[in-house]
């Protein structure tokens, strides 16, 4: 709903001017005493303040009119660029159409005319008003955002996230209600208050964040115990500051946080004092006329599948309640410097990003002392070091020589969204043996693709994504290892494949239903020396103790694959000017399989039911 307009009545300043002139004159003429003079002086001061406020309102109105003029010029350029296209766009029957079609289907001060009266507009889009025709509203001033505008111009029948949905919130979608103006800068609030819980038939102690690599085997008592845990720690808050440089160029900053981190003092017995964590924090520069977009900071990796173009906060993420999303989902949130160029009227997108590397090493069979790994030939391989200063001192930070390099191409025809991407990585360590040391660098990487298929536009979507290569395990939700070490201590990238498939339906504006399958698999690399087994998935490693409760035998259990099947739904049972209140539930089943070793190839599984209540005040 648009915020109330601020009408400016021209006779009002004239009335104030007359009052400020006549009242002192009348008082002088009547010869009032001291008390009456003080009262008149107070009245004059009050009138003066009102006049100052009126001047400020007039200044605000002029600023709003200038901004509207810039938006009109911007939309005119976009409409001119697409005037020769003969693409037919279906009018969405639900509330899940192109960005802003639900929130912005209003003109400034009067009902929105249909496409017939404005043939150059797409269904649901509204014309920019002529300056001076109507009184502008705050909603009209902020309705134009670059990421929404380019999505409407290149409508692919998928469109940006419906902002109330869980997938939108996972990507950091912004709201429409919490909008403020600080001079020429628009400040937009987003986020939600969340309380979620999970009931599962294994005790994993990770809450609603699935940590699949910690799934217990029958050897552990946790395998035989049910577990219930609830928490509001994934409540999320975001803020965006955005300003127009000119009619087609903007600069913005975005920050997002929740309470998903645990400090050393965090415990579930007394205060449940989970601490704030940084989810996203970046600045971006967008030129929609030349099609250039720059993003620097911590954001979703360029490898993360998207819904439309290559646009921040339009990542294609599962609607699930579990905060780890889905086994096999490709993603990270990390530092990056990304450049994107779009062409063909915002339909073809090319992106290149350098991103923060963080290699996950497997050192099964080795003696690993905080990143210093003893080799069977007597040497030592250094793969990382414990954090210090402001980093986490119990975490090993891997040695890295260069950032990960990621490229992506995205295509938005009239139906569907399609992507292809590739990555190159450089795992790096140092080996000291026989009195000399030397550095080692391996080349790793892979490629993938994703698609969003609008089976029934804005009602039913099929989501597909996948990534395969060597040394890319960290980009999957399961967090399988990227590399192990060979006999000489050099990094040995491990094969990895991750994929998801899902269907999301919006039967009406208040209900979302989804079902997903996700999978991540890892290959193996190993060697044996002196009767000992080293490396990942070594068939000489012992799995003999995995399936016997409290067994004293070893349980190496190198993970071969993790699969997840899940279904769920969200119901927005309250919606209005006060925001949105929704409830969700999800059923999930995950199964873990291991590489065969001495004693077999044990497996384990977990069944879960999730619950969630969420209040989105800005949606």
> What pLDDT shows up at residue 264?
78
**pLDDT band at 70; cut points 50, 70, 90:** low
Using pLDDT thresholds of 50, 70 and 90, give the confidence band for residue 154.
low
Q: What is the mean pLDDT of residues 152-160?
A: 76
Six token digits for residue 206: 């990770």
- Both tokens assigned to 504: 């999301």
d(CA 485, CA 148): 47
115 versus 226: the higher-pLDDT residue is 226
- Cα separation of 462 and 366, whole Å? 44
pLDDT tens, residue by residue, 543-589: 999 999 999 999 999 999 999 999 999 999 999 999 999 999 999 99
Is 193:182 a contact under the CB 8 Å cutoff? no
8 Å CB contact between 210 and 586: no
Query: Which pLDDT does position 8 carry in this prediction?
Result: 41
Does 170 or 108 have the greater pLDDT score?
A: 170
- Whether 295 shows a pLDDT value over 80: the answer reads yes
Class of domain 166-616: mainly beta
- Mapped onto helix, strand or coil, the DSSP state of residue 349 is strand
Q: pTM for the complete prediction?
A: 0.78
Tens digit of each residue's pLDDT (9 = 90 or more) over 473-487: 999 999 999 999 999
Question: Between 571 and 35, where is the model more confident?
Answer: 571
Q: Which of 77, 69, 82 lies closest to 288 in space, CA to CA?
A: 77
pLDDT digits (tens, 9 = 90+) for 394-451: 889 999 999 999 999 999 999 999 999 999 999 999 999 999 999 999 999 999 999 9
Residue pair 304/295 in contact by the 8 Å Cβ criterion: no
The tokens of 52 are what?
């100052």
Asked whether residue 21 carries a pLDDT value surpassing 90, the answer given is no
pLDDT value, residue 1: 42
pLDDT tens digits for range 341-390 = 999 988 999 999 999 999 999 999 999 999 999 999 999 999 999 988 88
Give the Å distances, CA to CA, from 210 to 166, 202, 204, 321: 17, 12, 8, 11
In this structure, what token pair is assigned to residue 586?
């999800």
For residue 409, how far is the Cα from the chain centroid? 19
Is residue 408 classed exposed, middle or buried when 0-12, 13-18 and 19+ CB atoms within 10 A define those classes?
buried
In angstroms, the CA 299 to CA 313 distance is 9
Where is pLDDT greater, at 133 or 512? 512
Can you give the pLDDT at residue 473? 97
The pLDDT value recorded for residue 108 is 32
What pLDDT band is residue 458 in, cutting at 50, 70 and 90?
Answer: confident
Average pLDDT, the chain: 83
Residue with token string 């009242």: 23
């Amino acid at each position: 709903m648009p915020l109330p307009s601020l009408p400016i009545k021209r006779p009002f300043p004239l009335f104030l001017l007359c009052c400020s002139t006549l009242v002192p004159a009348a008082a002088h003429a009547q010869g009032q005493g001291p008390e009456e003079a003080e009262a008149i002086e107070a009245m004059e001061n009050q009138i003066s303040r009102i006049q100052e406020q009126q001047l400020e309102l007039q200044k605000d109105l002029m600023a709003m009119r200038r901004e509207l003029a810039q938006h009109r010029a911007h939309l005119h350029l976009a409409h001119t660029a697409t005037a020769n296209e003969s693409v037919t766009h279906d009018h969405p029957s639900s509330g899940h159409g192109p960005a802003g079609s639900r929130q912005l289907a209003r003109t400034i001060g009067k009902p929105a005319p249909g496409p017939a009266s404005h043939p150059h507009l797409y269904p649901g889009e509204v014309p920019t008003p002529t300056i001076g025709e109507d009184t502008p509203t705050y909603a009209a001033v902020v309705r134009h955002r670059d990421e929404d505008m380019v999505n409407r111009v290149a409508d692919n029948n998928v469109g940006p996230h419906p902002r109330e949905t869980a997938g939108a919130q996972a990507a950091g979608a912004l709201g429409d209600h919490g909008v403020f103006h600080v001079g020429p800068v628009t400040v937009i609030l987003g986020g939600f208050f969340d309380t979620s819980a999970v009931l599962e038939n294994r005790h994993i102690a990770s809450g609603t964040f699935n940590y699949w690599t910690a799934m217990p085997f029958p050897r552990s008592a946790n395998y035989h115990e049910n577990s219930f845990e609830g928490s509001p720690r994934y409540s999320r808050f975001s803020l965006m500051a955005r300003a127009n440089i000119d009619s087609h160029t903007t600069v913005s900053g975005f920050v997002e946080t929740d309470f998903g981190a645990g400090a050393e003092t965090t415990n579930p017995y007394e205060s449940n004092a989970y601490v704030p964590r940084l989810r996203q924090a970046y600045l971006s520069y967008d030129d929609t006329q030349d099609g250039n977009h720059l993003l620097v900071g911590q954001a979703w990796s360029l490898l993360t599948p998207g819904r439309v173009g290559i646009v921040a906060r339009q990542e294609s993420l599962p609607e699930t309640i579990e905060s780890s999303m889905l086994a096999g989902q490709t993603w990270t949130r990390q530092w990056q410097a990304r450049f994107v160029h779009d062409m063909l009227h915002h339909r073809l997108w090319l992106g290149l990003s350098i991103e923060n590397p963080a290699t996950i090493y497997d050192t099964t069979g080795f003696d690993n002392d905080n990143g210093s790994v003893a080799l069977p030939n007597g040497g030592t391989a250094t793969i990382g070091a414990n954090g210090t200063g402001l980093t986490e001192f119990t975490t090993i930070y891997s040695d890295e020589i260069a950032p990960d390099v990621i490229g992506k191409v995205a295509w938005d025809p009239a139906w569907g969204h399609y992507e292809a991407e590739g990555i190159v990585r450089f795992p790096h360590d140092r080996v000291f043996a026989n009195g000399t040391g030397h550095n080692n660098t391996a080349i790793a990487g892979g490629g993938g693709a994703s698609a969003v298929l609008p089976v029934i536009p804005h009602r039913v979507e099929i989501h597909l994504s996948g990534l395969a290569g060597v040394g890319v395990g960290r980009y999957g939700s399961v967090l399988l290892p990227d590399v192990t070490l060979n006999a000489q201590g050099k990094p040995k990238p491990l094969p990895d494949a991750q994929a998801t498939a899902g269907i999301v339906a919006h039967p009406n504006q208040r209900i979302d239903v989804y079902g997903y399958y996700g999978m991540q698999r890892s290959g193996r690399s190993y060697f044996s020396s002196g009767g000992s087994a080293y490396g990942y998935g070594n068939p000489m490693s012992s799995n003999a103790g995995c399936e016997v409760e409290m067994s004293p035998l070893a349980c190496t259990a190198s993970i071969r694959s993790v699969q997840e099947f899940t279904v769920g739904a969200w119901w927005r049972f309250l919606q209005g000017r006060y925001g949105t209140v929704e409830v969700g539930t999800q059923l999930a089943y995950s199964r873990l399989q291991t590489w065969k070793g001495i004693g077999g190839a044990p497996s384990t599984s977990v069944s879960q039911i999730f619950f969630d209540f969420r209040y989105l005040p800005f949606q």
